Structure 1
Amino acid sequence: MKKWSFLLVMFSMILVLAACGGAKEESKTKSAGTETAKAEKMTIEHKYGEAVIDKNPEKVVVFDFGILDTLDELGVEVTGVPQTTIPAYLEKYAGEKYTNVGSLKEPDFEAIHAMQPDVIFISTRQAELYEQFAEIAPTVYVELDYTKYMESFEKNMNLVGEIFDKKDEVASAVEEIKASVEDLNKKASGLDKKGLIVLANEGKVSAYGPSSRFGVIHDVFGFGAADEKIEVSTHGQSITFEYIMETNPDVLFVIDRNSAVGGEAGAEKVIENELVKKTTAFKEDKVIYLDPDAWYLSGGGLQSVKMMAEEIEAAL
């Protein structure tokens, strides 16, 4: 009887020791998991400072539509977007599933603060408000360098890929776009045609040339410029319709700003007047109205850059 009691005590001790060992191993595993999670933080340096964020952030606020269309393409969920003016091709983000964080130029900081986002993406339109964003959450500023469009586009895409563990998907998409752009450049640069890019806004017209906001048409896509000396500025060079007639482009590219910001599309009535009708572009039916959503509101994203290249190729 004593022998059986002794064996029972020994067996119980073995079970207790095993349980303690398992608990220690579990504790070590949890500790290792915590250390791994901490190691997944990343520091992003940008023009206005730096942002320390966790990889794969869950609550994401996006104020740049190029970044938004990229996240959409990659299947990454976002939480808040400026719903006042959303490109038609991203209209699903106007739904109740997403928090409205104001407009591109007038963010709703109260709504953003209430969300407690993990990261906020902004770009040029919100640059002067960076400090206010950064007080709420880590804020990443993304920018397109118009003089190095494809390089800065690729840099931004790679950053998104790194943050959201989508490096392979981004690399594949970027290579596909670069290949199509290279093909487009060969076709466009081989033509003896000169283009002029204009922005129509409530009856006024401004022109954009190489190295400008819309200069990707010349610098990257390869379309010749009807005027190489257009002043480079965000808002373009103010011009007259006499200037368009005298410049006489073979192709006239038109972006309707009024339509982009929610107003009535009216560029055609403004542009196609008696002076413009004297140009080669009008006579040969080469007045091309570009998609204002892709060109004016977004641009610089996996979807928008592809759309922009396809529009210029169609113009050929």
Structure 2
Amino acid sequence: MRSVRFRKTIVVTSTVLCAGMALSACGESGGTSADSGRSQGNVTVATSKGDLEVPREPARVAALDNTSFATLKAFGVKPVVVPKALLPKAGFEDWKNDSSIKDAGTHREPKFEAINAAEPDLIVGGYRFTDHHDKLAKIATTVDVAPSDEAAGGYVNSLRTQTEELGKIFGKEDEAKEIVAALDKARDAAAQATKGESVFLAVASAGKIDNGASRIGRLAEPLKLKNVLSAEGQDSTSVHDNSGLAPETIAQLNPDWMIMMDRDAATGGEGTEAVAAKKLVDGMEAWDKTTFRTKNQVVYLQSDFYVTEGAQAYTDAFNKVTTAFNAAG
């Protein structure tokens, strides 16, 4: 990767960086300045790198973690740079079409020059951008409060933490409490609605249906469901490759329910014509006699779930599960 020329305010000695009252991070975003505790413009948040002092209510925000987009929008934050290719197709047209909001590229091909040129006070990184943390931290204070499967209590619980920490940063603690309360209510209702039924966690990708347990197993963790296929043998959170799962295998397992994430709908199929997940499911002859098909027990997650995956997305997913399972009796 070619080198990046950072703006002059960043390219100074470490001594000057640590002395500047406007900057709380020094080199690595996990560090803080010697007298940062006396700064009235900072707030300490819990991150994947440990406690970190960040600017309170930063004016210029680089929003890179797609799981935070809906929360930042709910807080009234208008970023200066975002990975526009990762924006959901609906609900973020203002960010996508605003020329004053620069494009950060993607996690696969980040546009570091664009991020740097946007002169952010704070970078909300992590999740897909986790591997780029160190380079981002050289541009501006970089905070990683993204949800994680490895976090205490699992992915869904870490969505609560993410929302609360972002609430601290942007002075939106009350709004954060409302988002968390909605998530908790939806999760608890879904847990109550499920009673040990078997389920196939599926993903529609490249026009095929595969095992999506590595990605949406997170959704099933708080629920009373029996997953017929585990994520064993899959790369962590990977739903990009064709595992060769045969429809007949699912037919033989005959799960009571299917929960479907449509990756094609969210990404456009990456060069392959996307086929609606429901069309794929209904057209699978091997499943004609399965319980989930004959009883129409398929829960389709929001079409943009693959590029959202934040607190609001999981709230909606849990609500869909509750509605479907309660209706089935």
Q: Looking at CA atoms only, which structure, 1 or 2, has the larger radius of gyration?
A: 1
Which residue in 2 is equivalent to 1:23?
A: none
Amino acid of the structure 2 residue aligned with 1:312? V
Match of 1:254 among 260, 263, 269: 260
Match of 1:113 among 110, 113, 116: 116
Which residue in 2 is equivalent to 1:94?
A: 96
Which residue in 1 is equivalent to 2:170?
A: 164
Q: Indicate whether 1:149 and 2:155 are aligned.
A: yes
CA spacing shift, 1:140–1:173, aligned 2, 3 Å: same
The 3-state SS of whatever aligns with 2:85 is coil
CA distance in 2, matches of 1:162, 1:290: 30
Amino acid of the structure 1 residue aligned with 2:287? V
Match of 2:295 among 261, 266, 284: 284
Superposed, which structure 2 residues align to 1:237-252 within 5 Å?
238=243, 239-252=245-258
The 3-state SS of whatever aligns with 2:285 is coil
Structure 2: gaps of 5 or more residues: 1-35
CA spacing shift, 1:230–1:110, aligned 2, 3 Å: closer
Contact 1:48 1:141 in 2 (8 A): yes
TM (norm. structure 1) is 0.77
Which residue in 2 is equivalent to 1:181?
A: 187
The 3-state SS of whatever aligns with 2:70 is helix
Task: Give the deviation of 1:179 after TM superposition.
Answer: 2.1
Amino acid of the structure 2 residue aligned with 1:201? S
Contact 1:64 1:123 in 2 (8 A): yes
CA distance in 2, matches of 1:228, 1:204: 17
Q: Indicate whether 1:300 and 2:310 are aligned.
A: yes
CA distance in 2, matches of 1:229, 1:216: 12
Deviations 1:104-148 (A, max 9, x none): 432211111111101111222111111221111111123323362
Amino acid of the structure 2 residue aligned with 1:80? V
Structure 1: gaps of 5 or more residues: 1-34
CA distance in 1, matches of 2:300, 2:182: 25
> Percent of pairs identical after alignment?
28
Contact 1:55 1:163 in 2 (8 A): yes
Match of 1:235 among 234, 238, 242: 238
Deviations 1:254-280 (A, max 9, x none): 222122113343134544311122311
CA spacing shift, 1:186–1:298, aligned 2, 3 Å: same
TM (norm. structure 2) is 0.75
Higher relative helix content? 1
Contact 1:63 1:82 in 2 (8 A): yes
The 3-state SS of whatever aligns with 2:216 is coil
